[in-house]
Amino acid sequence: MSENQSSVSFCTCTDTACPCHPTNHDKGCTPCIAKNLAQREIPSCFFKKAGGQKPTKDWYFEDFAALINANSEV
C-alpha cells in the first residue's frame, strides 16, 4: 500500500488511473471532491456506500437520487 493510499484508507474508488485518485498525489480526497462539485457529480464512493445496482449510467446528483430512490423501493 502506498503512503497516499494509507492516508485515505476508506477510499473505495477503483479508478486508480484518475488523476484525482488519492494514490496519485498527496492531497487526499480534495481533488476528487473539487472535480465532482464543479461537474455536479457525486463521488463514486458515495454510490458504493449507498449500495444496490446503479439505475443510471452517470454520476450526477440526480443519478445518486435515483439510486437512493431505487433502494428505498426494495
| DSSP collapsed to 3 states, 16-38 | CCCCCCHHHCCCCCHHHHHHHHH
Q: Is 61 in a helix, a strand, or coil?
A: helix
Structure confidence by residue, pLDDT tens digits, 30-67: 999 999 999 999 999 999 999 888 999 999 999 999 99
- Please give the pLDDT value at position 60: 97
pTM of the shown model: 0.79
> Which stretch of DSSP H or E encloses residue 5?
helix 3-7
Structure confidence by residue, pLDDT tens digits, 4-38: 444 688 899 999 999 999 999 999 999 999 999 99
- Please give the pLDDT value at position 7: 64
Which three cell numbers, joined as nine digits, stand for 71?
433502494
Torsion of CA 49, 66, 42, 9, to 10 degrees: 10
